[in-house]
Amino acid sequence: IKLKIVDIPVPITVGPAFEGETIRKKEAWVEFGGGRSPGFELVRMADADHVEDGKIEVVGPEIDEMPEGSVFPLGIIVDIYGRKMQEDFEGVLERRIHYFINYGEGLWHVAQRDLCWLRISKGAKEAGFKIRHFGELLIAKFKSDYPAIVDRVQVTLITDAQVIDEKIKIAREKYQARDARLKGLTDESVDTFYSCTLCQSFAPNHVCIVSPERVGLCGAVSWLDAKASNEITPTGPNQPITKGECLDEAKGMWKNLNDFLYTSSNRTLEEVNLYTLMDKPMTSCGCFEAIMAVLPLTNGVMITTREHSGDTPCGMSFSTLAGTCGGGVQTPGFMGIGRRYVVSSKFIPADGGLGRIVWMPKELKEYLKDELAERAVQLGLGADFVDKIADETVGITEEEILPFLEERQHPALKMDPLM
């Protein structure tokens, strides 16, 4: 392994060793985003004359003006100019912010886009870490990790409550535009899917297959991201796979995908189906945003999320489930997924699709609300289908939720037996 030592002008240690470091609320000097205050991060491609290389601007208070234990807004805008830079690369580079910040000792970052949530520890504050150092860290890492596409970088950090409201709109327009580009793409309209083997560092046989209608299970790698990432690093973790001969249209099995899987899973897996969780489903590593599990008594499936710590009708909480089906093995009846996959038109079509869902946490219902209703109408399940899905307020065992499903005439009860 070649270790790149980059000299980053920040008063804390920076390296992958700190990636897994958690900073609890009581250890934090200040926190940003995470639903407690507005927060966002955005990577933008810019013209040469709009990027002053190395420039860092803090709009609003610096850390010295932030009292211990306070919550502030934070907007991170990274403007990049590069002769080989493309708009399609923005999302991929933006995702790197998560890793780069977590490399800093005493810095903590979760989620992405306008959901991002950050903490600076008391220790980092004492060591002299300033808001502007986020800029130093990001500039150094973007330039050292992506020299082929990044020529100049400038960073704007917004901690002012008024200014962030106006800038977050720009970011949201960008996110929407990216999602809209993906929306027009279907699995049928492309002849190439992408692999993602980034997680093999801890789940050595795990292979994600990313298609236009199925985001990677971490929720952070879309088909467009995988494609862009492959252009940036052709020998990297995202390889194009021409679908080739289709072996099972309903379950979503292709010969070339199987061949790729066999080689990349170190010959532990021979076949994979993209459109079912019952038969040779995709493997799960450990960073799934959500997990689905079969509930035999209800003839349906449930979904729980990383954010939901409570028990669920399959008898396991998220963390217990994660231990059961993670690690890169196929576990029929269980599968890790990205949150947005739930509203995809390729959501387990071979198992009956959206109509199979009988339970999910209230928070996920709320998160996907409009799209769930839209998809339900498209599928002829009716706009009130969402109200037929049980949640933790209805019950946390199969026996508790079954009467609710019967009373509301949940469609899963009338579907073909799942098992």
- Interface ranges with ligand SF4 (CB under 6 A): 196-199, 208, 210, 216-218, 220-221, 285, 287
Nearest to ligand SF4 of 208, 381 (CB atom): 208
Minimum separation from the CB atom of position 286 to Zn ion (A)? 5
| Binders in 147-206 for Zn ion, by CB under 5 A | 199
What 8-state DSSP symbol labels residue 269?
-
Helices (H), 149-202: 161-183
Q: Which amino acid makes up residue 301? A: V
How many degrees, rounded to 5, is the angle at CA 310 between CA 306 and CA 312?
Answer: 95
Provide, rounded to whole angstroms, the least separation between the CB of residue 20 and Zn ion: 13
Task: Report in angstroms how near the CB of residue 281 gets to Zn ion at its nearest.
Answer: 15
Residue 190 C-beta: closest distance to Zn ion, Å:
23
Strands 117-121 and 28-33: antiparallel
For residues 326 and 355, which CB has a smaller minimum distance to ligand SF4 in the complex? Answer: 326
Smallest separation (angstroms) from ligand SF4 to the CB of 218: 3
Among 285, 303, 325, 357, binds Zn ion (CB under 5 A): 285
Q: Does 221 bind Zn ion (CB under 5 A)?
A: no
Does residue 325 touch Zn ion according to CB under 5 A?
A: no
116 belongs to the binding site for Zn ion (CB under 5 A): no
**Residues 213, 202: Cα–Cα separation, whole Å:** 26
Would you give the DSSP letter of residue 35? T
CB atoms within 10 A of CB 115: 14
CB nearer to ligand SF4: give 334 or 385.
334
Q: Judged by CB, which is closer to Zn ion: 220, or 293?
A: 220
Residues recorded for the chain: 419
Q: Which is nearer to ligand SF4, 288 or 404 (CB)?
A: 288
User: Given the complex with ligand SF4, which of 203 and 354 has the nearer CB atom?
Assistant: 203
| Interface region with Zn ion, contact rule CB under 5 A, candidates 50-58, 279-287, 297-305, 399-407 | 279-287
Q: Is 58 in the site for Zn ion (CB under 5 A)?
A: no
The residue (of 238 and 298) whose beta carbon lies closer to Zn ion is: 238
Q: Binding of Zn ion at residue 207 (CB under 5 A)?
A: no
Distance in Å from the first CA to the final CA of the chain: 46
- Distance, in Å, from the CA atom of 232 to the CA atom of 229, rounded to the nearest integer, reads 5
What is the chain's percent helix, strand, coil content, to nearest 5? 35, 20, 40
Residue 249 phi, psi (nearest 5): -70, -40
Q: With CB under 5 A as the rule, give the number of residues binding Zn ion.
A: 3
CB 150 within 8 A of CB 80: yes
Say which entry of ligand SF4, Zn ion, none residue 216 contacts (CB below 5 to 8 A, set by partner kind).
ligand SF4
Q: Which residues of 325-334 are buried (b: 16+ CB within 10 A; e: fewer)?
A: bbbbebbebb
- 252's tokens: 């979503």
* Of residues 131 and 277, the one with the C-beta less far from ligand SF4: 277
Give the DSSP letter of residue 338: -
The Cα 191–Cα 163 span in angstroms is 44
**Residue choice 209, 287, 294, 321 for contact with Zn ion (CB under 5 A):** 287
Contacts of 404-409 with CB under 8 Å at 24 or more apart are 405/298, 405/300, 405/358
Q: Provide, rounded to whole angstroms, the least separation between the CB of residue 287 and ligand SF4.
A: 5
Choose among Zn ion, ligand SF4, none what residue 208 binds, the Cβ cut-off being 5 to 8 Å by kind: ligand SF4
Q: State in angstroms the smallest separation of the CB of 197 from ligand SF4.
A: 6
Interaction site with Zn ion (CB under 5 A): 199, 285, 287
